[in-house]
């Protein structure tokens, strides 16, 4: 499912226009992004937790040449599924 299909589903399920659903979906994504940028976790009980994890700088290899390269430190988004989401997938 891509973003447009997701917006269509939200619009149908919430009985709203696609424009309103698009605004709502964008607001949710922006809120999660801003919270992670601020160093906060986003916990949605029953669904999961979005967090940001620091990755250290490390050495890697270019797969084409085998040459050693430096991979810089970075912050990566993480998602951990909650019990409700896991259970809904396993009890279909």
Q: What is the CATH number of the domain that holds 91?
A: 4.10.520.10
Phi and psi angles of residue 65, each rounded to the nearest 5 degrees, phi first: -105, -20
pLDDT bucket at 87, cuts 50 / 70 / 90: very high
Do 31 and 60 lie in a common domain?
A: no
Query: 83 and 49, same structural domain?
Result: yes
Q: Are residues 91 and 48 in the same domain?
A: yes
- Provide the number of structural domains found in the chain: 2
52 and 91 fall within a common domain:
yes
Assign 58 a pLDDT band (cuts: 50, 70, 90). very high
- Residue 91 — very low, low, confident or very high, per pLDDT cuts 50/70/90? confident
Return the pLDDT at 86. 93
Global pTM? 0.80
- How does pLDDT run across 7-40, given as a tens digit for each residue? 999 999 999 999 999 999 999 999 999 999 999 9
Structural domain span for residue 28: 1-40
Instruction: Please give, one letter per residue, the 3-state secondary structure of the chain.
Output: CCHHHHHHHHHHHHCCCHHHHHHHHHHHHHHHHHHHHCCCCEEECCCEEEEEEEECCEEEECCCCCCEEEECCEEEEEEEECHHHHHHHHCC
């Amino acid at each position: 499912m891509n973003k447009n299909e997701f917006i269509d589903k939200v619009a149908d399920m919430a009985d709203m226009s696609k424009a309103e659903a698009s605004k709502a979906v964008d607001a949710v994504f922006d809120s999660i992004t801003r919270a992670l940028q601020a160093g906060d976790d986003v916990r949605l009980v029953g669904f999961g937790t979005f967090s940001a994890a620091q990755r250290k700088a490390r050495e890697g290899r270019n797969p084409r040449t085998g040459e050693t390269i430096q991979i810089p430190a970075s912050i990566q988004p993480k998602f951990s599924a909650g019990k409700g989401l896991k259970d809904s997938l396993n009890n279909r």
